[in-house]
A and B are shown apart, each in its own frame.
Chain A
Amino acid sequence: DVKVTQSSRYLVKRTGEKVFLECVQDMDHENMFWYRQDPGLGLRLIYFSYDVKMKEKGDIPEGYSVSREKKERFSLILESASTNQTSMYLCASSLLPPNTGELFFGEGSRLTVL
């Protein structure tokens, strides 16, 4: 089974802190994604990557950056956390089409910024 592991289920940080959210997948998937999930807004794409050292902005990249130094690991970085970044963050991975295109999700990291 594909496993996507997010390093922290719950984090509490203070405004202005630098925050790292780590994600590791064990199925050699090319694509990796970071989404943000908020009630009533669904999932919104922050950044994605389809190869090592490659990154593409999603719909809401402002205030975030990412790093993909190894194929299995995709990190989301909040350079200076703000209260409006309090949210659930979901990491996902997938093979390239024309495979199923199915996304495999981690359990999520719930971040609270005080």
Chain B
Amino acid sequence: AQTVTQSQPEMSVQEAETVTLSCTYDTSENNYYLFWYKQPPSRQMILVIRQEAYKQQNATENRFSVNFQKAAKSFSLKISDSQLGDTAMYFCAFMKPNSGGGADGLTFGKGTHLIIQP
């Protein structure tokens, strides 16, 4: 079974600073996907960024980028020029496609509560 570990239950930074959220995972698979999801207060969870394990290039979405280290099984999220609207719970997630072409769901970490201070 896969496990996902987020070692930072809560982080707080000042607006405009850069912050990095850590995530490690454990798997014996070679083909999988990794995700960062954001859950703002009282709002639904949305995808921030996605990485395929076979791609060596780190994914980037505007101010959000990842540092994917496959050998180390590490998948950290960097938020540049942080904004008040970035305040949310952030979840790292792992997905392995099953042999039938479906997916047995995502395995989530326990989350990091990120607070952006004005």
Given contacts A42-B109, A43-B91, contact A97 B101 (CB under 8 A): yes
* B102 on interface, CB distance cutoff 8 Å: yes
A interface, CB within 8 angstroms of B: 30-31, 33, 35, 40-45, 48, 50, 56, 58, 90, 94, 96-98, 100-103, 105-108
Decide: A50 and B102 in contact? CB cutoff 8 A: yes
Decide: B102 and A30 in contact? CB cutoff 8 A: yes
Decide: B44 and A100 in contact? CB cutoff 8 A: no
* B35 on interface, CB distance cutoff 8 Å: yes
* B11 on interface, CB distance cutoff 8 Å: no
Instruction: Give the residues in chain B near A35, CB-CB below 8 Å.
Output: 105, 108
B interface, CB within 8 angstroms of A: 6, 9, 33, 35, 37, 43-47, 50, 91, 95, 97, 100-111
Residue B43 contacts which of A40, A50, A107 (CB distance < 8 angstroms)? A107
Given contacts A43-B108, A101-B95, A102-B35, contact A94 B50 (CB under 8 A): no
Per the bound structure, the CA–CA distance linking A109 and B101 in Å amounts to: 29
Residue A108 contacts which of B44, B46, B47, B91 (CB distance < 8 angstroms)? B44
Instruction: Give the residues in chain B near A94, CB-CB below 8 Å.
Output: 103
Count of A-B residue pairs with CB < 8 Å: 62
Name A54's closest neighbour in chain B (CB-CB). Answer: B102
Q: Distance (Å) between the CB of A45 and the closest chain B CB?
A: 5
Given contacts A41-B110, A42-B91, contact A48 B43 (CB under 8 A): no
Q: Distance (Å) between the CB of B9 and the closest chain A CB?
A: 8
Given contacts A42-B111, A102-B50, A107-B43, contact A56 B104 (CB under 8 A): yes
Given contacts A43-B91, A108-B44, contact A50 B103 (CB under 8 A): yes
Instruction: Give the residues in chain B near A101, CB-CB below 8 Å.
Output: 33, 50, 95, 97, 103
Name B97's closest neighbour in chain A (CB-CB). Answer: A97
Decide: A31 and B44 in contact? CB cutoff 8 A: no
Q: Distance (Å) between the CB of A23 and the closest chain B CB?
A: 12
Decide: B46 and A105 in contact? CB cutoff 8 A: yes
Per the bound structure, the CA–CA distance linking A43 and B104 in Å amounts to: 14
Instruction: Give the residues in chain B near A103, CB-CB below 8 Å.
Output: 37, 45, 47, 106
